[in-house]
């Protein structure tokens, strides 16, 4: 009888445990995340400039410029990027006329743009799309901002051909200022990335303009532009940051993780299994199937909500530490920042999802590439001024510093040394070693970053089209 009673107790206990487990399983697969915080509103507070004054905000003037902007005519080659043309005189006569007509039609947009870039701040209160997705905010101004800077650069090129050098250089400086408006560490990485690309487009275009007009542009015009550019740089203390991405990630956390009030809820079953079904090839090998199984089990045994929040903080802290190092410093440290971030991402299905943006690598290299190009542009201006004043190129960059053409010799973030300057016949070469950290002699088709002589490339800011060399002399556009 005692044995039978024990068996009944064990059986009842087992059934109770099974029932509890089944009940918990049902709760897990039927529970839904709770949306309790408006992270878009929190982000708007974070991104808002300190001591915000609406009168100092460039946003209304940018919007007026966007509203007045006229799209590129389809008949112009630059509208389709086929065939490639990088200078107005590459167009035929009818296209040159159409180019000038298009630029003239944007005169009002340019006027508002120039007012906007001289405002101290650019802040937009972000809005959410009408979708059922986490942190699905709208960034409607980015495409038009890039198009406007592109148009202003073309306007600068036309002005150069007409020997209107001062307003041409003012155009590219205004484009650089527009990029600076987006280069704020409390903005989203998408904003920052676009700002860096706009800055870089302005710098590259300036170098091409200087190359086309180096024999005719006056020293005083070069000095005026260099002083204005240096004044802009003096106020620039921007270093990229992922702090704003925290709002995006925490919003995703509340949309995708269960909230039991203790922070120990895990990834929603529906989110977890749905993501694996969408992104995985279930017919692949056993290793992938085993990985997919572990991913599916994340809703039961994966990192909790609190653990994921800690990992988010770790990733952002690692990224921000890396941003303060040059590529040379990162290469020579025993610590591998990107591997650390990758390992954290791989350990958590939520952080590894395509919906999360926690990879700082692209922004890191774009930042330092833009930074070194900026310093190189200042050096080129000083060299050209020296040549215009003395009739010869300086023997070394030190000559520019000693004679007050340059405040300091520009440093290469990829070599922990200065940029490399060489005189070559009737020209000069200025370059840095690039991402392979080796000096390849400043030759084309190597990893060296050659600043001078500049290489023309398609003027769309993020184009991957091949670089082409052009050495056509300046001509008058068709009237």
Instruction: Summarize pLDDT for 85-134 with one digit per residue, the tens.
Output: 588 988 899 999 999 999 999 999 999 999 999 999 999 999 887 766 66
Same domain for 21 and 56, yes or no, is no
Q: Cα–Cα distance between 305 and 255 in angstroms, integer?
A: 11
pLDDT for res 82: 46
pLDDT exceeding 70 applies to what percent of the chain?
77
190 lies in a domain?
A: yes
pLDDT for res 147: 94
Q: What is the mean pLDDT of the chain?
A: 83
pLDDT for res 233: 92
228 lies in a domain?
A: yes
The mean per-residue pLDDT over the stretch 441-467 comes to 65
Per-residue pLDDT at 275 exceeds 70 = no
pLDDT for res 288: 56
Per-residue pLDDT at 432 exceeds 70 = yes
Same domain for 9 and 102, yes or no, is no
307 lies in a domain?
A: no
Assign 474 a pLDDT band (cuts: 50, 70, 90): very low
pLDDT for res 455: 78
pLDDT for res 286: 52
Instruction: Summarize pLDDT for 318-360 with one digit per residue, the tens.
Output: 999 999 999 999 999 989 999 999 899 888 877 876 545 677 8
With beta carbons less than 8 A apart as the criterion, state whether 101 and 124 touch: no
59 or 248, which is more confident?
Answer: 59
Q: Cα–Cα distance between 110 and 119 in angstroms, integer?
A: 15
Same domain for 145 and 205, yes or no, is yes
Same domain for 163 and 68, yes or no, is yes
One DSSP character per residue, 33-83 reads ------HHHHHHHHHSPTT--GGGBSHHHHHHHHHH--PPPTTSHHHHT-S
193 lies in a domain?
A: yes
Which residue range is the domain that position 172 belongs to? 49-122+139-240+363-452
476 or 115, which is more confident?
Answer: 115
pLDDT-wise least confident of 208-212, 274-278, 350-354: 274-278
pLDDT-wise least confident of 6-10, 85-89, 245-249, 275-279: 275-279
331 lies in a domain?
A: no
Burial letters 306-341, b for 16+ CB under 10 A, else e: eebbebbeebbebbbebbebbbbebeeeeeebeebb
pLDDT for res 347: 85
Same domain for 14 and 97, yes or no, is no
118 lies in a domain?
A: yes
* Nearest C-alpha neighbor of 171 from the set 147, 138, 205, 200: 205
pLDDT for res 37: 86
Same domain for 232 and 150, yes or no, is yes
The mean per-residue pLDDT over the stretch 18-36 comes to 57
Per-residue pLDDT at 40 exceeds 80 = yes
Same domain for 153 and 7, yes or no, is no
Same domain for 16 and 148, yes or no, is no
Same domain for 19 and 93, yes or no, is no
Same domain for 22 and 53, yes or no, is no
475 or 278, which is more confident?
Answer: 278
352 lies in a domain?
A: no
With beta carbons less than 8 A apart as the criterion, state whether 305 and 254 touch: no
Could you tell me the pTM of the whole model? 0.85
Instruction: Summarize pLDDT for 377-424 with one digit per residue, the tens.
Output: 999 999 999 999 999 999 999 999 999 999 999 999 999 899 999 998
Same domain for 23 and 56, yes or no, is no
288 lies in a domain?
A: no
Number of domains in the chain: 2
Same domain for 68 and 167, yes or no, is yes
């Amino acid at each position: 009888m005692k044995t039978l009673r024990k068996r009944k107790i064990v059986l009842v206990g087992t059934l109770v445990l099974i029932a509890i487990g089944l009940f918990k399983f049902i709760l897990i697969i039927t529970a839904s995340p709770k949306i309790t915080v408006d992270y878009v509103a929190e982000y708007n507070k974070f991104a808002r400039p300190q001591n915000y004054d609406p009168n100092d905000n460039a946003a209304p003037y940018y919007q007026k410029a966007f509203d007045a902007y006229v799209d590129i005519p389809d008949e112009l080659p630059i509208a389709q990027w086929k065939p490639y043309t990088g200078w107005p005189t590459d167009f035929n006569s009818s296209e040159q006329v159409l180019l000038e007509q298009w630029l003239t039609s944007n005169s009002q947009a340019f006027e508002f743009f120039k007012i906007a870039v001289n405002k101290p701040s650019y802040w937009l209160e972000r809005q959410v799309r009408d979708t059922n997705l986490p942190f699905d905010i709208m960034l409607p101004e980015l495409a038009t901002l890039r198009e406007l800077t592109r148009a202003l650069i073309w306007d600068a090129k036309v002005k150069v051909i007409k020997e209107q050098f001062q307003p041409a250089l003012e155009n590219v400086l205004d484009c650089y200022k527009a990029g600076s408006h987006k280069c704020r560490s409390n903005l989203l990485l998408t904003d920052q990335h676009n700002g860096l690309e706009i800055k870089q487009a302005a710098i590259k275009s300036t170098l091409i303009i200087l190359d086309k007009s180096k024999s005719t542009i006056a020293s005083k015009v070069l000095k005026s532009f260099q002083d204005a550019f240096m004044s802009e740089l003096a106020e620039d203390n921007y270093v990229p940051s992922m702090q704003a991405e925290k709002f995006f990630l925490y919003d995703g956390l509340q949309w995708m993780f269960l909230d039991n009030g203790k922070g120990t809820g895990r990834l929603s079953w529906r989110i977890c299994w749905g993501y694996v079904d969408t992104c995985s090839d279930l017919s692949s090998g056993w290793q992938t199937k085993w990985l997919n199984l572990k991913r599916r089990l994340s809703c039961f045994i994966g990192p909790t909500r609190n653990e994921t929040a800690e990992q988010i903080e770790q990733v952002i802290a690692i990224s921000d530490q890396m941003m303060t190092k040059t590529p040379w410093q990162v290469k020579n440290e025993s610590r591998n920042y990107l591997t650390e971030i990758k390992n954290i991402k791989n350990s958590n299905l939520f952080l590894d999802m395509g919906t999360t943006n926690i990879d700082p690598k692209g922004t890191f290299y774009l930042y330092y590439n833009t930074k070194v190009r900026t310093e190189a542009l200042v050096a080129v201006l000083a060299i050209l001024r020296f040549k215009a004043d003395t009739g010869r190129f300086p023997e070394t960059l030190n000559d520019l510093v000693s004679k007050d053409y340059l405040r300091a010799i520009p440093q290469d973030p990829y070599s922990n040394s200065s940029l490399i300057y060489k005189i070559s016949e009737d020209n000069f070469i200025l370059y840095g070693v690039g991402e392979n950290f080796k000096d390849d002699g400043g030759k084309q088709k190597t990893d060296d970053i050659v600043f001078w002589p500049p290489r023309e490339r398609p003027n769309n800011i993020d184009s991957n089209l091949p670089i082409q060399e052009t050495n056509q002399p300046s001509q008058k556009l068709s009237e």
